[in-house]
A and B are shown apart, each in its own frame.
Chain A
Amino acid sequence: MKKIYYNILAFLCILSFSTGCEKFLDKSPDLGLDEDTIYESYESIRGYLDRCYPLLERWNMAGANQMSRDMNPMCITDELASSINTENFVVNTFNTGNWYSATRNSNWEIGMQGSSVISQSYKALRICNRILANIDRVQNITDEERNYILGQAHFYRAWYYYQLIKRYGGMPKLDRVFNGGDDDIPRMTYRQSHNWMMEDINQAIALLPVKWDDANYSRPDKAAAMGFKAQALLYAASPLMQNDLASTVEKPYDIDLCFEAAKAAQECLEFIRDNDTGRRFTTGTIEPGTIDAYKGIFVLPTTTFCHEEYLWWDRRNMNEEEQANTLRKYWIWADLDTFTGQDAAIVGMPTANIVAYYERKGPDGKYYPITDERSGYVEGEWSSMQNRDPRFYNNLLLPGTKWGKKGQNQRDYYISSWVGGAGYINITQDNNLSAQREFTGWLARKYTWPECQPWEYPSNKNRGYNIYRVKSFYIRVTEMYLDYAEALFEATKDATGKPEGFAWSPKEALDIVRARVGVTPIVDDYATPSTFRETYRRERTVELMFENHRWEDIRRWMIFDEVFPTSTPIKNFVWTCDQGADVDPADYNEGKDLTFSYTIVPNTVEVRNYDTRHYWYPFPGAEVGSLDNLQQNPGW
């Protein structure tokens, strides 16, 4: 008996010793993948490169946009006011100008913590730099495939570097894979950074295909790179970008870069005209209130992922729930959405400020800015809301508009944004809104449609949210005309002249954009050297409204003082229904016979506390503290 135990004991001892002392721990999961894996073939290097794509900013997707989580990122400009302040970052940190806030600690970069545009860009730059440095290690690749990879890598490196310099100003030359310890390198000026980026853009234009095959469509192609080039040049020519690292002061446009930018915009337009790229300037019926050709740029049929007008966009599909959330959190009036949860009360409400940019057709049939008495605009009168630029009706919702159905019984719904209207009461009595925010009197329409509401339409859940697709897009063809007009005008200070080699005068370029939506050409008074700057900026604001351009534009133009003259610069409409507050619009020819008057009052809670230092974002305190060569932006 005893012997057996000894034998077992001895056996176990031997067993344990025989496996060796440390070998027992020498196990790790078969992770398999190392750096060489990505150099095995075209497919593998492409698989590495493609991780750049998901790092694109999805500004038109709630929960994913890198500025804030649930709030429309345009609530930092004069385009939208936010209706809720649970999103502390935008309301309490960004708009108050307290960008270096201790509440999120000074190590925080601007944007949504951990996945801001800035940190996403750093990730993409690392991918591109690794590919550009190691492309020769890829084994099974044809020359054509190699060009595809390199073309995209140059494009992405430029695009993501551009995201940084737009926000920070000049940056170090981030042309290699850093590993820590090798990263303390000096900043360049914006111009130097731009020049380095242009090398990448030009490489991309040279290497990228004219058109990808159907399966690869939506990867960056030559037209995307050309559009990007025009925009990048215009930015580099802009007043803010003329500054060095030491100070931020108002400077004039750079004439040479302006000419280059205009040229680049023209080349892009000519390129898509002359080649089969799948891109074109949208034309077709413009009939506000329907999904016409113009509206169709912003709400796509569910059969497609892109629009011919887009030059560079985020193709990724939002699933039903993501799109429903986006629409509910960004664009749909919470009253229609019946307050199903805190998120649905978050609305980006258009401001009275931005509404004022739309021209009105005067009695003479021509369109004038509303400040011009020929426009027939009289503040306070309902007629002032008639005969506005058709884009007004495409982008905004007026009180009394019949708009979809509400409730389980699907009764007709009317926008009741006047004082005492049912929607007004609901919105202003809602705790999330009334406690801290104010209703501006306006609702956006650009990315929604009447069926877009939570009730079942016609049968399945969320169906109404998903009849069309909405996208985040970055550059569209129309912008080329706007870029062209701005660049050429700022180069020549002549709105109507057409220098040698240029296809249109600045005014002609804008008139193309206006003509598409049925707005008459710019009247001569507004095409003079002293008035045209305001004209092209107004046109750009209206045409690119709610497309995430405004913030960059007011910064590069350095017009904080003009746009945000006071600490609460945003204004509200207070509507009064002439037929009485408790009117039922159904009784008035489906609301069409209702009339309203309004007053414009300051919004007392919307701050835009920006001054000169806010033209550039601050670097995180810890980064400046760690790196001897990283010069903080002026004023921070």
Chain B
Amino acid sequence: MKHDHPIMSLVSLLLLALLPASLSFAQSEGGAAGRITDSANGEPLIGVYVTVEGFDNTGTISDLEGRYYIADQSIPDDAVVLFSYIGYDDLNTTLGEIRRNGNVSLSQKNELLDEVVVVGYGVQKKVSSVGSITQTDGEEIMKGGNMNTVSEALQGKLNGVISINSSGQPGNNAASIYIRGKSSWQNTDPLVLVDGIERNMNDVDFNEIESISVLKDASATAVYGVRGANGVILLTTKQGTLDKPTVSFSTNFGFKQPTARLEWADYMTSMKMYNEAAANEGSWGDIIPQSTIDAWQNAFDTGNYGPYNDIFPQVDWYDEMTKTAVSQNYNVNINGKSEFMRYFASVGYQRDGGIYNIKKQPDFDPRQYYSRLNWRANFDFNITKSTVFSVRIAGKMAYRNQQYYNNIYQKILQAPLNDFPIKYSDGYWGDKTNQGYNPIANQTSGGQVRNKIFQGWYDAQITQKLDFITEGLQAHAKIAYNSYSENRDRVRNGGIWGGTDLQQQNLFPREFRTYDYSSPIYGEDGSVTYPIIENASGFHGNQYYQLPVGVDFDALQSAGRRLYYEFAIQYNRTFKGHEVGALALMNRQIIDSKASNMTLDFPQYTEDWVGRVTYNWKERYLFEFNISYTGSEKFAPGKRFGLFPSFSVGYRLTEEPFMQGIKDVLSNVKFRYSWGKVGSDRGATRFQYIQLFNQEGGINFGMDSNTSFGPTYSEGNIAQPNATWETAVKQNLGIEIGLWKKLRIQADLFNERREGILLSPRTTAAWVGVSITAANLGKTKNHGIDLEVAWEDRIGPHFNYFANFNFSTSENRVTFRDDPKNFLEHEKDQGKPIGFQKRYIVSGNYQTVDDIFNGAQSSLDAAANIIPGDFAYIDFNADGVINDKDNVVVEQLNYPLTTYSLTLGFDWKGLGFSAMLYAPTGLYKNGFDVFLWDFPNGNIQGQPDVEKRWTYATAGSTGVQRPALHIAQKHNNQGNTYKYMDYSYLRLKNVEISYRLPRKWIQKVKMSSCTVFANGNNLLTWWGGDNRVDPETGGENVYPIVRSYTVGLRFSF
């Protein structure tokens, strides 16, 4: 299955390297010998590697006249001989063959000629394409390791695409994506199309993916008009391409564990520090008595403590609650073609387990997992010589199962380590007096939630060549249908649906016992126990938990369907170097969706008219013009449709005749420029052009009985009949350089001006009394650079290696956002980046009481007890008071705008290795309180570095220090720069090692290929912050980011 279709050959080419020039030559007598020439012009080829498979020492290199000689006569005739040469297709033959006739000719492989890119509504040859497009393929995606969503797998793979993953929960781990920075404060999600239809790409089985193409500039996205401004991602599934029917199997098996591990200061230190904090605050009543401390010290000394110890509980909730998750993937697919048809069919199954250590219960299963079945059948029938009929049927069925109570990780963080045991010795769960603080009890006894997701995709297309009208003309019609539904089953202890909060928290009995450590009772045998002070058994002793489980079965959460149809006429022809292409296309969609309340939303409609003209002369001067006339039913008639033109020009310097002489050195130079206008209707709400009056329920009056008066009517928001889409004007200047056919550099400079971003007016008086619908008011600008440098080479006949470096950065500014006119400059949004952050600036710690009283007085929290060691904030406006006016814009953003990625790899006799490093920088986030401050949630639990606090002993040192201890943080926990931390990181995102078994081994079992591989994901992370937090995580209450290790096997017949 080698190089039979364009994308596969692209991959192969990445691995193909060029030979170093060599002047050594061999004798041409005896054995096998011959001459190697260029198939096109008969010129001799110098320096061709000639190797015999299985006979490593017999390789040779062709001489100045193209001659080679294999001396060893003992090699059998059926040995395979490989001729490989820079820029030419490899040639495989047998030794017997060349013993008969040793002369061979190699044909030039012009990689640039073969390579295609997927563009909107078609494919283009890469050489003559002028859009800014990056592309990857299914094989690359699969190297990402054990992941189950496409958005996750894209991280670092595509230049200019930033993918942020914030959760690792099975089935709920899609990453959010934005392309080329942010140009709007509205939704910046790109448009995602799978096989040309708007679909969720995340659950596509990686084995089904042919390619993923990202359209970045307006030249590429203008055809999507009103939906194209945020960029477009095109996922294409595989088609039958192989001459021989090939069945492929793949399977992998993986383990996952959180990338970060929790730990705290030990309890003795925590108690000591807690007393210091209590003393700092003058909360003498909070001081832990020495008798308690002594009792615990004794418990630790004698080992009388543990997770099930009634009196001295110590529970490492993280250890108790997490485990290594297991995941499995299986896929079988068939790929083939004949004269009549081409086919690709695939079935995949995946099961992804959770990292929480939850046990199956008798009545329900609260464990976390995601299991998914994918299927796909792509057929193309050649009905006549000029007619192709294509059908694609695909779908998935998935179950996402989990415990009833969410936010497990938060519960683990909040659970006190030394307040209560997991269970008391008499079998009751331990808990605090209020709320469910025992995460194990909470999860195992809470109940179960299972979501069932179904998705079906059905496409049919007929393509007719119309060469009888004029050569190169063809037309197609396409119809597609999507359906989607999500249902939910829930099971709960106690059988209460619609019960009060009160009842729901009483589903299982818990106890909280406190002991009087000051009055030990010494037993006759020398044992020590302590009297119980109190048993706050608030959750214990009601009967709800004794009821049978309650079930809420198959409740519809959401459902949707989408009908799409498209007609197009295309023309492609070349006349004496003039290559002309044209496309005219129209499509429509009807989208129905249904929310859980079972009401069908009013369908959404879209309609697009698209035109494209491409022209090039000898692939040297390139022109392209795109136009779309697209509409969005979100806006009023007359404001609905818009024309979105783009044009682009390209120039390939290396195609000039005078450049041919140095083509071996300078293999490719291409300049591109594009200008275009695109829109985005993402931020708009439907029908806001209509001034609504809503009918509402009745209102009751009456003295002793209810009389309802109604219906009542309320006025909707003030309509904006003139509202329309955001408009982006994008320019892109690109240059592509190829050197020695080894080094490839591509740089794109882009610039975008966005206008008419929908924005609710912010300068109207509140007494207008209703909201005013968003109008097209906002303006932004965004610019940046994408840079890609790739090196591919070969050392010797068997060792190929490559390195690929991506860098992209951008910068944006709000240029208008209806700021109140009397605001001071620093209070306005204008001139600041999208999503800018404000913080109080920490200048240092107060060193003495005098500092506190002589400095600016804080009015942030009057209840705060400020002591030496607390933060001093900068009085930005110098009015002597620290208040909201000193909360100022900081430079750092909470999303990354600059990313680096480096992919390295080699291939040596079937042994493959690749590794990717990924680093987003300039990303800041608020540190989580639970990791920043000691005694979070009132628990006597210090941070591991609790002893590095400010003390009088460290007073006077410069810089910002960890502040003095408090029981509860007030003053220090304002939104300040200390909390706002650099979350930039460098991560070894994935590593794959694979071994392709030699053909002669597998031929015996009739396999055509067999590869074993092992890969790892998120293996190493370097960052400047707390190692208990993964820098990518979305918050303290989300499922942690995981590291995974996978082993797998792929083989085909």
Contact = CB atoms under 8 A, between A and B. Distances in A.
Interface of A: 1-2, 5-6, 8-9, 12-13, 16, 21-22, 24-29, 31, 33-35, 37-38, 44, 46-48, 50-51, 53-54, 91-92, 95-98, 100-103, 105-106, 109, 118-119, 122-127, 130, 172, 174, 178-181, 183-184, 212, 214-219, 278, 303-306, 315-317, 321, 324, 338-345, 407-409, 425-426, 429-432, 435-436, 454, 461-462, 567, 605, 607, 609, 620-628, 630
24 contacts: A6-B464, A9-B477, A16-B586, A25-B606, A25-B631, A25-B633, A25-B641, A47-B713, A92-B863, A122-B767, A125-B767, A178-B768, A183-B768, A214-B703, A316-B700, A317-B700, A338-B538, A342-B435, A345-B434, A408-B542, A425-B534, A429-B433, A620-B766, A627-B765
B706 interface: yes
Contacts of B289: none
Nearest to A19: B588
Given A25-B607, A180-B764, A408-B541, A48 B713 contact: yes
A183 B767 contact: yes
A33 B692 contact: yes
A222 B763 CA distance: 39
Contacts of A54: 699
A13 B588 CA distance: 12
Contacts of A178: 764-765, 767-769
B704 A51 contact: no
B462 A215 contact: no
B538 A22 contact: no
Nearest to A345: B434
B713 A431 contact: no
Contacts of A123: 769-770
Given A461-B503, A623-B766, A624-B822, A340 B538 contact: yes
Interface in B526-549: 534, 536, 538, 541-543
Given A101-B884, A315-B701, A180 B718 contact: yes
B384 interface: yes
B827 interface: yes
Given A96-B859, A130-B715, A627-B765, 9 more contacts: A16-B588, A27-B602, A27-B605, A29-B687, A339-B434, A340-B538, A345-B434, A623-B766, A626-B822
A37 B716 CA distance: 13
The 10 closest A-B CB pairs, nearest first, are A102-B884, A625-B820, A126-B769, A96-B862, A626-B763, A183-B765, A215-B707, A626-B820, A29-B602, A339-B434
B592 to A, nearest CB: 13
A191 B687 CA distance: 44
Contacts of A408: 541-543
Contact of A180 (B383, B503, B707, B761): B761
B859 A97 contact: yes
A212 B703 CA distance: 10
Interface stretch (B82-90, B210-218, B494-502): B494-502
A303 B702 CA distance: 11
Interface string B660-701: 000000000000000000000000000100111111100111
B657 interface: no
A300 B709 CA distance: 23
Contact of B765 (A98, A431, A609, A626): A626
B442 to A, nearest CB: 13
A325 B968 CA distance: 28
Please classify how large the interface on chain B is, using the bins under 10, 10 to 19, 20 to 34, 35 or more: 35 or more
A100 B769 contact: no
Interface in B573-613: 586, 588, 602-603, 605-607, 609
B861 to A, nearest CB: 6
Contacts of A179: 718, 768
Given A184-B765, A339-B434, A50 B699 contact: yes
B415 interface: no
Nearest to B432: A431
Contacts, number: 281
B766 A430 contact: no
Nearest to B886: A102
B110 interface: no
A180 B764 CA distance: 5
B704 A303 contact: yes
Interface in B708-747: 709-715, 718
Question: Which residue, of A25, A35, A46, A341, has the highest number of chain B Cβ atoms within 10 A?
Answer: A25
Interface of B: 383-384, 386-387, 432-435, 462, 464, 475, 477, 499-503, 505-506, 514, 534, 536, 538, 541-543, 565, 567, 586, 588, 602-603, 605-607, 609, 631-633, 637, 640-641, 687, 690-696, 699-707, 709-715, 718, 761-770, 772, 819-823, 827, 838, 859-863, 883-885, 887, 937-938, 967-968, 974-975
B713 A37 contact: yes
Contacts of B823: 621-622, 625
Contact of A218 (B384, B703, B827, B861): B703
Contact of A625 (B696, B822, B883): B822
A437 to B, nearest CB: 10
A22 B703 contact: no
Contacts of B700: 315-317
B701 A98 contact: no
B216 to A, nearest CB: 28
A430 B434 contact: yes
Contacts of B633: 25, 27-28
A34 B693 contact: yes
A207 to B, nearest CB: 18
Nearest to A183: B765
A341 B687 contact: no
Contact of A25 (B462, B464, B640, B715): B640
B764 A181 contact: yes
Contacts of B637: 22, 26
B822 A33 contact: no
A607 B863 contact: yes
B1024 to A, nearest CB: 27
A33 B709 contact: no
A50 B714 CA distance: 9
Nearest to B939: A431
A44 B703 contact: no
Contacts of B703: 214, 217-218, 278, 304-306
A488 to B, nearest CB: 33
Question: Which residue, of A97, A98, A342, A624, has the highest number of chain B Cβ atoms within 10 A?
Answer: A98
A454 B502 contact: yes
A92 B702 contact: no
B462 A5 contact: yes
Nearest to A607: B862
A174 B607 contact: no
Contacts of A22: 607, 631, 637, 640-641
B502 to A, nearest CB: 5
B827 A13 contact: no
Contacts of A29: 602, 687
Nearest to B967: A435
Given A22-B640, A180-B764, A338-B538, A216 B701 contact: yes
Contacts of A44: 713
Contact of B695 (A33, A324, A432, A435): A33
A572 B769 CA distance: 43
Contacts of B691: 34-35
Contacts of B705: 214
A620 B763 CA distance: 12
A35 B120 CA distance: 45
A172 B769 CA distance: 14
A494 B713 CA distance: 52
Contact of B433 (A9, A27, A426): A426
A9 B712 CA distance: 52
A622 B631 contact: no
Nearest to B887: A102
B729 to A, nearest CB: 24
B827 A31 contact: no
A216 B769 contact: no
Nearest to A174: B767
